[in-house]
Structure 1
Amino acid sequence: MPDAAHRLFAADALLPTGWARDVLLEWDDTGKLSTVTPGIDAKGDTPRAAGPVLPGMPNLHSHAFQRAFAGLTEFRGEAQDSFWSWRTLMYRFAARISPEQVEAIATWLYIEMLEAGYTSVCEFHYLHHDADGRPYADDAELSLALLRAAKRAGIGLTLLPVLYQTSGFGGLAPSEGQRRFIRSTESMLRLLERLRPACEAQGAHLGLAPHSLRAVSPEGLRDALAGLDAIDPCAPVHIHIAEQTAEVDACLAWSGQRPVAWLLDHAPVDARWCLVHATHMDADEYRRAAASGAVAGLCLTTEANLGDGIFDFSAWREAGGRWGVGSDSHACVNAAEELMMLEYGQRLSLRQRNVGADAAHREVATALTLSAVQGGAQAAGRAIGGLAVGQQADFVVLDASHVALQALDAPDMLSSHVFASHRSSALDAVYVAGQARVTGARHASHREAASAFVAARRQLLAKD
């Protein structure tokens, strides 16, 4: 039997098949689960979880640097503010940030994620160059800053460098605000080759993110995918798609097709793809995209913050679509909050309750958690799909003594965590690869990282 540092007993655990009682979890030295045994008596010095054990939630979409200006765009700047006016403010902020500030912001953000129930993150990273748009002496400098931040926080990482080439459909020239993002296809493939050993050294996974159809030409997309296949034919591919109705209209004007339909007709979309947002699809696009095996990347709090619209969750599930959640621009950093926002958005749209329940699980929080974990793991391209042998030992322990959870059974504890608590206050511990990164609801580097974040934000705001 593994030593006490490599095992945990849970009176209740949420396995991929549903809730189980008296579960022994054991993992090996690499952090992979070697035993998941329900119906067993706790013996000897086996540590006991303080409450129900949940699979760790993957965060499938993050722009780390944007955490530093979350909350700073909530004022009327135009007669009708939208995603596009928000983007102008974001570009101003991105133009001045340094590698040191990126690392400080990302370190704090990743600690926040861990304390809020995320155990891994897919970093959609498009800030590549210096303030003048020139490559750093080490072209990977900002990517390496994110790798260091993830390692320091102890969160799992899928790094997705972003290919960004144009400012609109039809190859429009990039704007001044995009100068730090722009790369040729060749320079992107060189960057991936440079980053591959660095990712492997810390157990991170590497993929590619063509930013969007408006930001990458058809030729650039084709050549980038071919180059990625030569490096790693299984690497994940993430793309922003159909987030805004204006994007759909522009794509129709350019190609005569809606964005998701165009992508499905012109790219080898399959289970390695994550279609981030995919908010505005017609019925045929929902059917075809779901059939491709791709994951829909839902970022509910960001989509609400930006006024994007509401994803047709029922249509996606009826088509057999897979999905996961992300915190995107980090107006909110909380795994349970994304699930609550998903459910409440559907309730408001459909004027129904308990939309997220499914045939296997009547409890909404249970059904949503299990599906989001599976979809997030697929999007990350990593073995983080829940409490099962061979998966990484990423899990979250709820605090059964929390006032919102006391005297409830395990499914109701999870439901109260998602719908009736502060959605992070009821977390006791978070493990990544079998290592406790959060204990007593607090990360060991919380205070230090928070101070560095505040200092970085203060420096950035002083530049205005």
Structure 2
Amino acid sequence: MAAIEVGATLGDADERHRCALPGMPNLHSHAFQRGMAGLAERRGVSSDSFWTWREIMYRFVDRMTPDDVRAIAAMAYVEMLEAGFTRVGEFHYLHHDLDGQPFADRAEMSGAVLSAAGETGIGMTLLPVLYSYAGFGAQAPQPGQARFLNALDGYARLLEGAQAHARALPDAVVGVAPHSLRAVSPEQLRALVPLARHRPVHIHIAEQEKEVADCLAWSGARPVEWLLDNAPVDGTWCLVHATHMTDAETLGLARSGAVAGLCPITEANLGDGLFPVAPFLDAGGRFGVGSDSNVLIDCAEELRLLEYGQRLSRRARNVMARGAGHSTGADLYAGALAGGSAALGTGPAGGIAVGQSADLVSLDLDHPALLHRQGDTITDSFVFAGGRSAIDCVWRHGEKLVEGGQHRARDRVRRVYARVLERLIA
């Protein structure tokens, strides 16, 4: 926004909206996984977990072309904007052709998701992923991971290509993403630091108990403990999930300034566990939310489930309100907005202010859940009672993309998406 005028006279072409919130950053997404939402909900012969879900994901990506990725990502981004997310952190690790070989343009798949962002208008922080190994100690990769794999030199070329593609968008950010401690070596992690050059750095960590056990067996330390001791973790980092931590790890993560990237819907869907929110926030920790596997895309539901998980585990209410008399919904929203903005490399959280991008979400105060609400009670009612059905319009960079709750390109994007899924699922 270049300027703000207070008390302006309403012109014929102007619009009036009674309530707006800053658009929410979605700090962690695997857009291509939107196409497999609901396909992993059949029980297997043994106990199901993230690891059994992952095998289904590997089979789904075996047939995807760059055009398929573009179509699925566009559908996911339409739904994100309709749900109140105005920027996405795309943690992108599907890099290579069907045979596992790099494309002539190593960043062709990154270009596909950037193209989908351009088509839909969502803000993009692209996080090209370095993925080299199948497990701690540089274990040989599995066949299902062939399309993800890069060595350091190939990754550097991928990053350079992604930056070239990103120039087509007005305010894209390109970060660095070592997939996890199990998928990169300590030597690679050290080599990535100069590549980052103050860019956002995102990493999966401590999502599952098996991961913690495997890390202990490999190094004698837990994942977050090892990372804090061996990498320059600071406010440019986002540790995605960080579900299983000791009290010391929780305190160390909070003191580092890194953002905890929480994905409550996916973490619940995969049976991962609950992040220790209360002690983390008490220590001054920062958090944001992401839609991760995109099994369900809903900003309000991510916030609601984040609070409800804490209520169930602690058997208390209003856990994430930051003090007596505070609004839980408003504190949730403000915390995720600030942490998500920092994690995606966009500086201070958005809003109506000179110098900020006009990324705004208007709420329908005639929605049954919002009637006669005022102040922070509106945000409480949006998060806990109204959800995405209470969203009226969404603007990104000052351009209206959603009206009456529907993205302007929804019908066209959905038609292409339907044709792609017909081929991939049939």
Q: Deviations over 1:282-317 (max 9, x none)?
A: 011111111111000000000000000011100110
CA distance in 2, matches of 1:49, 1:281: 47
State whether structure 2 residue 173 is matched by structure 1 residue 205.
yes
State whether structure 2 residue 211 is matched by structure 1 residue 247.
yes
1:273 counterpart (234, 237, 246): 237
CA distance in 1, matches of 2:356, 2:186: 36
Q: CA deviation at 1:42?
A: 4.3
Q: CA deviation at 1:384?
A: 6.0
CA distance in 2, matches of 1:282, 1:332: 30
What is the aligned-residue RMSD (CA, Å)? 1.4
State whether structure 2 residue 79 is matched by structure 1 residue 115.
no
Structure 2 unaligned residues grouped into runs of 5+: none
**Structure 1 equivalent of residue 49 of structure 2:** 82
Q: CA deviation at 1:51?
A: 3.0
Matches within 5 A, 1:292-371: 292-359=256-323, 362-371=326-335
Question: Cα gap change, 1:277/1:113 in structure 2, threshold over 3 Å: closer, same or farther?
Answer: same
Task: Report the residue type matching 2:68 in the other structure.
Answer: Q
Structure 1 unaligned residues grouped into runs of 5+: 1-26, 29-33
CA distance in 2, matches of 1:439, 1:384: 26
State whether structure 2 residue 187 is matched by structure 1 residue 222.
no
**Structure 2 equivalent of residue 56 of structure 1:** 23
Q: CA deviation at 1:50?
A: 2.9
Task: Report the residue type matching 1:119 in the other structure.
Answer: T
CA distance in 2, matches of 1:48, 1:138: 44
Q: CA deviation at 1:137?
A: 1.9
Instruction: State the identity %.
Output: 53
State whether structure 2 residue 381 is matched by structure 1 residue 416.
yes
Q: Deviations over 1:246-294 (max 9, x none)?
A: 0000000000000001001111100110000000010111111111110
Task: Report the residue type matching 1:397 in the other structure.
Answer: S
3-state SS of 1:92 partner: helix
State whether structure 2 residue 249 is matched by structure 1 residue 285.
yes
2:221 counterpart (257, 264, 288): 257
State whether structure 2 residue 361 is matched by structure 1 residue 393.
no
CA distance in 1, matches of 2:28, 2:374: 32
**Structure 2 equivalent of residue 66 of structure 1:** 33
1:383–1:392 contact (8 Å) kept in structure 2: no
CA distance in 2, matches of 1:97, 1:128: 11
CA distance in 1, matches of 2:176, 2:148: 14
CA distance in 2, matches of 1:49, 1:69: 39
Q: Deviations over 1:344-380 (max 9, x none)?
A: 0000000001112113871111110011000000010
1:442 counterpart (403, 406, 415): 406
Q: CA deviation at 1:454?
A: 1.5
Q: CA deviation at 1:198?
A: 2.4
Question: Cα gap change, 1:384/1:59 in structure 2, threshold over 3 Å: closer, same or farther?
Answer: farther
CA distance in 1, matches of 2:324, 2:412: 44
Q: CA deviation at 1:389?
A: 2.9
**Structure 2 equivalent of residue 24 of structure 1:** none
3-state SS of 1:425 partner: helix
Task: Report the residue type matching 2:370 in the other structure.
Answer: L
3-state SS of 1:162 partner: strand
**Structure 2 equivalent of residue 127 of structure 1:** 94
CA distance in 2, matches of 1:124, 1:436: 26
CA distance in 2, matches of 1:364, 1:415: 7
Q: CA deviation at 1:411?
A: 2.1
CA distance in 1, matches of 2:109, 2:134: 22
CA distance in 1, matches of 2:148, 2:193: 19
Of 234-243 and 70-79, more deviation after overlay is shown by 70-79
Question: Cα gap change, 1:50/1:335 in structure 2, threshold over 3 Å: closer, same or farther?
Answer: same
Q: CA deviation at 1:87?
A: 0.5
Q: Deviations over 1:16-71 (max 9, x none)?
A: xxxxxxxxxxx23xxxxx43x7xx43424284543311011000000000000011
CA distance in 1, matches of 2:28, 2:272: 16
TM-score (ref. length: structure 1) = 0.89
Task: Report the residue type matching 2:279 in the other structure.
Answer: A
State whether structure 2 residue 421 is matched by structure 1 residue 460.
no
TM-score (ref. length: structure 2) = 0.97
**Structure 1 equivalent of residue 199 of structure 2:** 235
**Structure 2 equivalent of residue 21 of structure 1:** none
